[in-house]
Structure 1
Amino acid sequence: MDEFFLIAKVVSVSVKDGLLKLKLFTDHPEKLFTTDFILVDFWGSKKKFFIENVLKRGENYLIKLKNFSAERELSVFIGREIYLKQSDLLPLDDDSFYIHDLIGCKVYCLDKFLGEVKDVLSTPANDILELITEDKKVKLLPFVLKFFEEINPGEKIIFVKADSGICDDED
């Protein structure tokens, strides 16, 4: 059974061009240019739609679906989430990770549990791991590779380097 991963959300339409404007949730939008179809969520059910064209205008990504061009047809997509199957995702370099792979990882400094990754927040400087501690508090860690000894999404475990400075306030 294939898993689905959120990559974008439709934020508006361009009726003149028949395009859907996307808000991306991926660092790898180039996959849109190489896939034949997307899956759109309609009330919990994923429906397949074939791609006619993908455009990049400035920082925006726009997608044209086959057989959809009228305003009434396009307006049903506004606010809908777009998914790809895991088998359609691009393989990543060794030091890159999909956010969905990091969610649920338990984070440790030496043998001390810091928390579980609930989300990864994107900032201009670097990504931030949002952890939930044992006492249900939120803790934010900069996701800078030099601060981590081991990142193993397969085992759902992350080890922070003891000398990173992150563990100093944990006593």
Structure 2
Amino acid sequence: MTTIEVVQADITQVEVDAVVNAANSGLLGGGGVDGAIHRVGGPEILAECRRLRATTLRDGLPAGQAVATTAGRLPARWVIHTVGPRYSASEDRSATLRSAYTSSLAVASDLGARSVAFPVISSGVYGWPADDAVSQAVGAVRKAESGIPRVLFVAFDERMATLLRVEID
């Protein structure tokens, strides 16, 4: 059984086996969570992402999929990079959003991770409304049969932490 927790914190500082990065398909860093993970984690993460882009992910990482690298200087063993979809009012992309969570959990399970920290994927610059992003996230983690004992949702601010706590309770 998976225990789901919520904490308001900096995702680069949480102590878990794997931290999920809300990456862009290029995997070469960006803003928000992605930029913070690359800055704090150091050049080792970027070097592994570049190797992935030069070999198995020449066209980038598709939305809804996930891949792991070292965590560099983060207090985690691995970073699991996943790409959430951009929000669209005219097209339902929620299955792709849920897949970002379930794919990340599958990668974590394959690595042998026992704890995973997630941001709320697509809720930043990708424009997904926070309340629905939280609902999709928690629903996907609850339905996944990953065998990961501990999943931690890391909220950047109190508003997101409150939305997560209400959804989990």
Greater share of helix residues, 1 or 2?
Answer: 2
For the criterion TM > 0.5, the same-fold answer is no
Q: TM-score, normalised by structure 2?
A: 0.25
Higher Rg of the two aligned structures: 1
Q: TM-score, normalised by structure 1?
A: 0.25
